A and B are shown apart, each in its own frame.
Chain A
Amino acid sequence: MSEHPVLPPESTDNESVAARLAREAKRQVAQGNLKKKKLVYLELNGCSGNIISLLNGSNPDFEYMITSMVDLLYSNSLMAAEGEQAVQRLFDLAAGDEEFILAVEGAVALKNNGMYHLVGKIGDRPVTGLEMAELLGKKATHVISVGACSVDGGPSAARPNLSQSVGLQGVLDRHIIKLPGCPVNPDWFLGTLAHLLMFGEPKLDDMNRPLMFYSTLIHDRCPRRPFFDQGIFAEKLGEPYCLFKVGCRGPVTRTDCPTRKWNDHVNWPIGASTCIGCAQFGFPDRMAPFISYDTTKE
């Protein structure tokens, strides 16, 4: 036997890659090469959709994340502590020397000095999301913007934007890894986190999105693509042809949705309806209309 036996190529489908990453992480942790890092998951002005999506993750799943990948120090939806005790944890982090990765979901509301979105209270003093985003954002080793709202305002900043919401970058002058999507696919977040833990920052495109998840134009891998090439278009939803004429945003949106899919890799938006461009900057206002029957002729 030679020292480096030639092995058959490893499977490159999404689940195998995710499983291999998770297995490697586990091995590295067991060997002590890899120390568990701390994660703070801050929810700002949004709908908590990304955390719901995260709970739907598999290979690795959420349980694996909090037991084997990171110490989840704070997540207002999921932690046991509540009230002032929980908020105090954030201030301790901001004041102390602990290293942590900061994941931020939701937009930062600027109106009335941030009073349109509160994280909690210390005594009688309301603590705004704006204050926390700035405090923790400066301190974290890495910052990940999770979801459309955090990336560039998303639905929270959609017209008429009553809370004057902006993306995290709007209040934080530092390098941020951006994971657009409404919501973010659990694999995109967990994969980015795993990469951060094991190999450091993943390769990013010029808009700071990880290339491993956001490099493919949906249109290029769409199963309905042959219909586009032949000029065969659906006139209403439910027809199995290209949805370009009713408002599909696949041609302007970059994600691996066509191959990764959602809900344990079962189905995805174009499996049933149009892509609404939820992972593109400017969503939702600039992706409108999502559906239109008032179309061009072919």
Chain B
Amino acid sequence: MADMVTIQRQMDLTFAEINYLIRLMYATEDEHTKNLTLNQMWNKIAHLQFLNQLLVAASFQQGQAAIPLQNSPQTMLPDSTNAPTANNQMEFTREQLAQFTGMNGQPAYVAVNGVVYDVTNNAAWSVATHFGLSAGRDLTQEFASCHTGQQWILDTLVPVGRLIA
């Protein structure tokens, strides 16, 4: 966890430096200084990118489901972090899964390849429907027919448990 704090502090520092450079760009008239500043800015941004990747990697190592996707909007929402999602070893039967339709204030869950995912705040699941499919179901086949080989889609979702039987 100490690593993460260090990275965060470095990032704040870099942001401050970039802001300073931007102000400098406005103030200076000299072509040479401008080019130099631009170059420095370039370096700072590259550094920021590196820190960002480091942050993602670090949080993956700690095995925290909520933090790795920090730049993805869906996990910034309060719900995905503190709903029953914390425990992704929860087990669902098909009947239990069928209750999470995303209607009546329920969260929206779908199952793919035996894993139950929370799509409540997933952008592609507006009002808990996705291209005519509704939540609360096992969509393994549907996923396979449209998203063959697109495992990354599943990696962006928040797992909440396993589907049993």
Contact = CB atoms under 8 A, between A and B. Distances in A.
A297 B127 contact: no
B78 A296 contact: no
Interface string B63-98: 000000000010011110000000000000000000
A297 B78 CA distance: 11
A249 to B, nearest CB: 6
A228 B129 CA distance: 17
A219 B121 contact: no
A151 interface: no
B73 A297 contact: no
Interface in A224-259: 228-231, 244-249, 251-252
A68 B127 CA distance: 47
B106 A296 contact: yes
B104 interface: yes
B132 A294 contact: no
Interface in B11-61: none
Given A230-B76, A294-B104, A297-B105, A244 B129 contact: no
B76 A231 contact: yes
B73 A229 contact: yes
B121 A282 contact: no
Contacts of A246: 127
B163 interface: no
Interface stretch (A88-96, A102-110, A160-168, A285-293): A285-293
Given A294-B104, A297-B107, A298-B77, A231 B121 contact: yes
B103 interface: yes
B131 interface: yes
A69 to B, nearest CB: 36
A295 interface: yes
Contacts of A296: 102-103, 105-108, 120-121, 127-128
Interface residues of A, number: 25
A244 B120 contact: no
A185 B101 CA distance: 35
B120 A294 contact: no
Given A297-B107, A298-B77, A249 B126 contact: yes
Contacts of B79: 231, 297-298
Interface string B117-147: 0001101101111111000000000000000
A228 B76 CA distance: 10
Interface string B142-154: 0000000000000
B90 to A, nearest CB: 18
B127 A245 contact: yes
A298 B132 CA distance: 22
Contacts of B124: 251-252
Contacts of B123: 219, 228, 244, 251-252
A257 B105 CA distance: 31
A297 B131 CA distance: 21
A286 B132 contact: yes
A256 B7 CA distance: 37
26 contacts: A228-B123, A229-B73, A230-B76, A231-B76, A231-B78, A244-B123, A244-B126, A246-B127, A247-B126, A249-B126, A251-B123, A252-B124, A252-B126, A252-B130, A282-B131, A287-B131, A287-B132, A288-B129, A294-B127, A295-B128, A296-B128, A297-B79, A297-B105, A297-B120, A298-B77, A298-B78
Interface of A: 219, 228-231, 244-249, 251-252, 282, 285-289, 292, 294-298
